[in-house]
Amino acid sequence: MQKNYGIKFVSFASALPSLCIKNTDLQKLYDTSDEWIYTRTGIKERRIVSANESGLTLSVSAANEVIKKSNVKPEDIDLIIVATATPDKLYPTMSCMLQGKIGAKNAVCFDLSAACSGFVYGIVTASQFIYNGQFKNVLVVGVDVHSRFLDWSERTVSILFGDGAGAVLMTSCLAGDDQLLGYSLHSGADVNLDLELDNSNVMYSEFKKPKCPNFVKMNGKAIYQFAVRVVPEVINELLDKINHNVNQIDYLVLHQANQRIIDSVSEKMKFNKSKVISNIEHVGNTSAASIPIAISEAIQENKIKFPCKMLLVGFGAGLTWGAVALHLR
């Protein structure tokens, strides 16, 4: 595409709820163990919202932090995209509510639904508006609060998820200084029912009320197989596109779904362990928030050396998957 401008990734930030639920806490809910959960998922604990917290409060914290780090005033933000599959309300959108809370009064706002790929889809969507000159400052937030949509009496799915929010501020710069090296997005409905959160069980015509709240349903094995197949494929596709090889990439940040998926992909792709960012052990799977939380924490902990080239790969319900390559300076 015609690029009139480049994109600068100015700052990353994240926010987690205060309540920490350890694997040993889950043993009080059902028959499980820290050892079973840790060896199969790499997760030790996750953060879950309490009554005074929500997707919005987490988004506000992450957004305010990213704005503070960026020197961009809230009123200078032109566009807010919130990627989420678990909005606090079906409407108003999370992005409009966030706009009000952070004082971004001149922003255009919309939510983007692509499940765990939402943050990657959000970056790519934002980039189109910056490349064509429509918008200068764009805030992209990934947030999910899956704890409200889990069956906490069922042990296969509820062990996986945690709540959280992550954000990035993207601004336009000279085309020659572009920090977005390339991207690749995909969707495929072939096994979409293997991961779903149904919202269609209230029907006026049948005067039917939901028998129980709507819970996430997942075929864990099918999702595992999907991830370890498509993630290496999309990484190879993107590397070809940008004419890079694995050795030229400094950091790999996969959607933090499961440590076994992260290990399998990095081994298959021959990424040295030191290049692979993982924080799933203490946050669990935070869906659309997982990539920006992982980056933000890694920067905070000085694990990222600049300048660097970084691959971000999202995959999730839909099914959706996609990768972006960044050259952060």
Backbone conformation region of residue 124, classed left if phi is above 0, alpha if psi is from -120 to 50, else beta: alpha
- The answer to whether residues 88 and 54 touch, using CB atoms and an 8 Å cutoff, is yes
Any idea which residues carry the catalytic annotation? 116, 255, 285
Q: What is the DSSP letter of 153?
A: T
Q: Least distance in Å: CB of 257 to ligand ACO? A: 4
Q: Which amino acid is at 243?
A: N
Q: Which of 107, 138, 160, 311 binds ligand ACO (CB under 6 A)?
A: 160
- Residue 259 sits in the site that holds ligand ACO (CB under 6 A): no
Residue 271 tokens read as 């990424």
Q: Least distance in Å: CB of 136 to ligand ACO? A: 33
Residue 16 tokens read as 């987690």
When the beta carbons of 144 and 178 are compared against ligand ACO, the nearer one is 144
Taking alpha carbons only, the member of 129, 123, 69, 174 closest to residue 325 is: 123
- Residue 186 sits in the site that holds ligand ACO (CB under 6 A): no
When the beta carbons of 156 and 187 are compared against ligand ACO, the nearer one is 156
Q: Which of 156, 245, 247, 272 binds ligand ACO (CB under 6 A)?
A: 156
Choose the stretch contacting ligand ACO; rule: CB under 6 A; options: 14-22, 82-90, 173-181, 221-229: 221-229
Q: Which residue is nearest to ligand ACO (CB)?
A: 220
231 three-class SS? helix
Cis? peptide before 92, omega within 30° of 0: yes
Q: Which of 3, 22, 27, 32 binds ligand ACO (CB under 6 A)?
A: 32
- The answer to whether residues 283 and 290 touch, using CB atoms and an 8 Å cutoff, is yes
Indicate the burial class of 46 (C-beta count within 10 angstroms; 0-12, 13-18, 19 or more): buried
DSSP letters for 160-203:
TB--EEEEEEEEEE-GGG--EEEEEEEE--TTGGGEEE-----B
Indicate the burial class of 5 (C-beta count within 10 angstroms; 0-12, 13-18, 19 or more): buried
- Residue 149 sits in the site that holds ligand ACO (CB under 6 A): no
Q: Which of 118, 122, 166, 316 binds ligand ACO (CB under 6 A)?
A: 316
Element (H, E) at 252: strand 251-254
Q: Least distance in Å: CB of 27 to ligand ACO? A: 9
Q: Which of 25, 186, 214, 220 binds ligand ACO (CB under 6 A)?
A: 220
Q: Which of 224, 263, 282, 327 binds ligand ACO (CB under 6 A)?
A: 224
Q: Least distance in Å: CB of 140 to ligand ACO? A: 19
8 three-class SS? strand
Q: Least distance in Å: CB of 262 to ligand ACO? A: 10
Total site size for ligand ACO, rule CB under 6 A? 23
The site for ligand ACO (CB under 6 A) is made up of: 32, 36-37, 40-41, 116, 155-156, 159-160, 195, 218, 220-221, 223-224, 257-258, 260-261, 285, 315-316
